Structure 1
Amino acid sequence: MDCSVATSDDPPVVLGQMPVAWVEAMGPKVLRPGRLLKFVVQEILFQYLARTKPTSIEELIAAGR
């Protein structure tokens, strides 16, 4: 297992990798290829974008039109 986290798109988009020690601690019963992990990726991406590219009030108004 390569510990990568990817979308189910065709082709898959790799989002990152889980720490090997954590994957080994969880074991094959919990983590195996093709098994859905219930991470809240949307919130992680939102926070990342909010911190690296804040949206201005002008952009929000323009998007609402």
Structure 2
Amino acid sequence: MRTENQIKSKINELALQKKSLVSRLEVARPESMVHDSLTAQLLRLEDMISMLEWVMNDPSGSYHL
């Protein structure tokens, strides 16, 4: 199990990667394969950040109704 500081550190690391990807995406031609690849990478990063934020918010309750 990761500590809260480790999770926050990973979120910050991923946020920096996201910022870099967004910058690269802005200069890529929309019809290029590079643009498609960067978009896919950005979606994965956003998913990973969301998942880590979800862990930080300590979900509770039952998922089986």
In terms of Rg, which structure is larger?
1
| Structure with the largest fraction of strand | 1
| Structure with the largest fraction of helix | 2
TM-score, normalised to structure 2, is 0.35
TM-score, normalised to structure 1, is 0.35
Choose between structure 1 and 2 for higher RCO, CA contacts under 8 A separated by at least 6 residues. 2
